[in-house]
């Protein structure tokens, strides 16, 4: 093209042009996100692996941050040709039977984001809700700058959080189920201290089966596909910020050196991992949380004394509730393609409950198998087959086990009062009645520090992630990890749907720059929607 330009001008023909190199306003650095590396290695080991596959000639200028527990790193290049060659070399590399995930990350310069713009970082779990995730990611990429919409099936939340690390004030929209929300919050916990905005408020488009947290925050029981994505963005703008209590659950098994002490959940996708390896030393002084070593068991962080540490956002179940959840989890692991609709999932859950009524029960007379202490006081348990510890007043796809307000010795609960509610269920029939709204669970206690001793192997579940826990102590205490959520305002009839209805100070969109190739197809949309958002 340069030669054509010279010839055109020399020959005085009608087509006259010249090309001039334009400096990239985002700077010369090119960032590559590398995933699927072995977790828990040293920086030197990661550098050796990357230099081996990218070759020494294509060595990066710098490395970091390194997400050790996820086996992911970001490497920076100042030479675009080296970056491109490294991209293709690393993309074809296979380590420990896993192909490396390599992403070329966009670079958002904070000075290019107008001061009256509060950008929105969108995460979509395309595997949630059938094909709804795919439809949403396409719609949001048209309405917003495509570079602020990330597919969680392609590297998880870390690439998006890295891209937004220098933005001082932004919001997050998570499109997925409760497990997806926990996944995003976990990643925020691990990278937030290195970001300008450590706890951005999170809104939800519920795509999962239960969607209990979304129900409590008024985002609805589940996205149906009929909602206008533009109205979803307006709802995010109008939503109010609220605090969500979070809780650390520590499983400390009895010492049995010759036997495996914990049977944690199998987790192939990483979707519902709720392990947090940061800030745990700041926990409640009533219970010492041991420092964590680098080894990481699926589903929980393991300490030197074999303790397992989780963070709970919604609820923690022991007994019949967790036993049913475990059966459902195992069935979905065996045939994941069959569990692609909320109606089917709930039907399977009901069938499993009916089988439990007539079949062998793993947990009988749970009240004899556990010892419960709340705020230092032993609580006598009534005859129950399961207990549920609630942080939010929604469980099992929208049921409220605590029940309506009534005259008793308990205070009115909410999700930011620093208190947990403990309820009991007498069996499968009682569980079904609670989910149907016919009955409430048995109110047992409220408190901010809970200790449970398990006398035998008992099914447990934390936020829908189930396994069988061996005998030992379980402690639930207030977490130092914070979460800011967005609660949808109650619906108001919109009289005006013109673009000027939302003040520009509430903007959610990042302006697309001239050199963004992926943004060029949507330039018209971006121009309009920057006015809206």
CATH number of the domain enclosing 57: 3.30.70.330
Structural domain count, the chain:
3
CB 80 within 8 A of CB 30: yes
Of 98, 106, 119, 26, which Cα lies nearest the Cα of 74? 106
On whether both 514 and 463 belong to a single domain, the answer is no
Give me the pLDDT at residue 519, please.
Answer: 40
On whether both 83 and 117 belong to a single domain, the answer is no
170 three-class SS: coil
Residue 391: give the domain boundaries: 247-481
On whether both 230 and 370 belong to a single domain, the answer is no
With respect to residue 396, please indicate whether it lies within any of the assigned structural domains: yes
On whether both 343 and 367 belong to a single domain, the answer is yes
Global pTM reads 0.80
On whether both 491 and 470 belong to a single domain, the answer is no
Give me the pLDDT at residue 258, please.
Answer: 53
On whether both 315 and 339 belong to a single domain, the answer is yes
Query: What CATH number did the domain enclosing 263 receive?
Result: 2.60.200.40
CA gap 278, 475 in Å, rounded? 18
> 439, 454, 481 — which closes off a domain?
481
Give me the pLDDT at residue 204, please.
Answer: 96
Give me the pLDDT at residue 269, please.
Answer: 39
Percent of the chain with pLDDT over 70: 73
On whether both 265 and 414 belong to a single domain, the answer is yes
Q: Which residues are CB-contacts of 71 (< 8 A; sequence separation ≥ 6)?
A: 35, 36, 37, 38, 39, 40, 41
Give me the pLDDT at residue 339, please.
Answer: 53
Give me the pLDDT at residue 14, please.
Answer: 59
| Sheet with strand 30-35: strands edge to edge | 62-67, 72-77, 30-35, 101-105
CB 465 within 8 A of CB 315: no
CB 175 within 8 A of CB 205: yes
Give me the pLDDT at residue 343, please.
Answer: 56
On whether both 475 and 488 belong to a single domain, the answer is no
Phi, psi of 149 (to 5 degrees): -120, 120
Contacts by 189-194, CB closer than 8 A, 24 or more apart: 189/276, 189/278, 189/279, 189/311, 189/481, 190/67, 190/69, 190/276, 190/277, 190/278, 191/65, 191/67, 191/158, 191/161, 191/162, 191/165, 193/278, 193/279, 194/65, 194/165
The region, left, alpha or beta by phi > 0 then psi within -120 to 50, assigned to residue 517 is alpha
With respect to residue 3, please indicate whether it lies within any of the assigned structural domains: no
Question: Which residues of the chain are modeled with pLDDT < 70?
Answer: 12-19, 24-27, 129-131, 256-305, 328-330, 332-363, 492-507, 512-533
On whether both 302 and 328 belong to a single domain, the answer is yes
With respect to residue 377, please indicate whether it lies within any of the assigned structural domains: yes
CB 247 within 8 A of CB 280: no
On whether both 278 and 403 belong to a single domain, the answer is yes
Give me the pLDDT at residue 219, please.
Answer: 95
CB 106 within 8 A of CB 42: no
With respect to residue 312, please indicate whether it lies within any of the assigned structural domains: yes
Give me the pLDDT at residue 99, please.
Answer: 93
> 105, 135, 152 — which closes off a domain?
105
CA gap 102, 150 in Å, rounded? 14
Question: Per residue in 242-256, pLDDT tens?
Answer: 999 999 999 998 876
Give me the pLDDT at residue 500, please.
Answer: 36
On whether both 523 and 501 belong to a single domain, the answer is yes
Query: What CATH number did the domain enclosing 184 receive?
Result: 3.40.50.10330
């Amino acid at each position: 093209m340069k030669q054509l330009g010279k010839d055109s001008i020399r020959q005085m023909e009608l087509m006259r042009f010249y090309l001039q190199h334009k400096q990239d306003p985002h700077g010369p650095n090119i960032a590559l996100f590398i995933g699927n590396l072995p977790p828990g290695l040293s920086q030197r080991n990661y550098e050796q692996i990357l230099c081996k596959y990218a070759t020494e000639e294509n060595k990066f200028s710098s490395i970091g941050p390194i997400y050790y527990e996820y086996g992911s790193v970001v490497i920076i290049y100042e030479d675009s040709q080296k970056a491109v060659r490294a991209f293709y070399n690393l993309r074809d590399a296979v380590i420990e039977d896993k192909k490396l995930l390599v992403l070329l990350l966009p670079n958002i310069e904070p000075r290019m984001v107008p001061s009256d713009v509060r950008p929105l970082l969108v995460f979509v779990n395309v595997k949630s809700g059938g094909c709804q995730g795919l439809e949403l990611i396409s719609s949001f990429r048209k309405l917003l700058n495509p570079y602020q919409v990330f597919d969680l099936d392609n590297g998880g939340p870390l690439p998006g959080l890295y891209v937004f690390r220098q933005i001082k004030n932004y919001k997050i929209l998570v499109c997925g189920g409760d497990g997806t929300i926990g996944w995003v919050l976990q990643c925020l916990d691990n990278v937030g201290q290195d970001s300008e905005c450590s706890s951005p408020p999170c809104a939800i488009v519920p795509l999962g089966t239960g969607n209990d947290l979304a129900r409590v925050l008024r985002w609805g029981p589940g996205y149906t596909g009929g909602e206008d994505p533009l109205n979803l963005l307006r709802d995010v703008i109008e939503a109010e910020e609220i605090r969500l209590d979070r809780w650390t659950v520590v499983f400390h098994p009895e010492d049995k050196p010759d036997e495996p002490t914990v049977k944690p959940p199998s987790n192939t996708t990483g979707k519902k991992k709720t392990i947090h390896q940061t800030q745990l030393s700041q926990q409640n002084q009533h219970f010492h949380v041991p420092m964590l070593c680098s080894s990481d068991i699926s589903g929980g962080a393991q300490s030197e004394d074999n303790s397992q540490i989780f963070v709970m956002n919604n609820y923690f179940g022991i007994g019949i509730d967790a036993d049913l959840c475990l059966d459902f989890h195992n069935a979905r692991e065996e045939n994941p393609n069959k569990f692609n609709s909320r109606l089917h999932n709930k039907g399977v859950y009901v069938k499993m409950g009916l089988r439990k009524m007539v079949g062998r029960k793993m947990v009988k007379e749970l009240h004899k198998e556990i010892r419960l202490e709340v705020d230092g006081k032993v609580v006598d348990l009534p005859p129950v087959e399961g207990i549920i510890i609630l942080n939010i007043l929604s469980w099992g796809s929208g049921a409220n086990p605590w029940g309506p307000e009534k005259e008793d010795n308990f205070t009115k609960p909410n999700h930011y009062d620093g208190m947990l509610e403990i309820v009991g269920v007498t069996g499968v029939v009682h569980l079904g009645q609670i989910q149907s709204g016919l009955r409430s669970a048995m109110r047992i206690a409220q408190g901010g520090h809970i200790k449970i001793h398990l006398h035998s192997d008992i099914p447990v579940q934390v936020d829908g992630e189930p396994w069988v826990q061996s005998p030992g102590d379980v402690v639930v205490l207030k977490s130092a990890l914070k979460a800011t959520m967005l609660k949808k305002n109650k619906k108001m009839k919109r009289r005006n749907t013109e673009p000027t209805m939302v003040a520009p100070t509430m903007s959610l969109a990042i302006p697309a720059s001239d050199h963004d190739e992926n943004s060029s197809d949507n330039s018209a949309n971006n121009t309009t929607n920057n006015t809206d958002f």
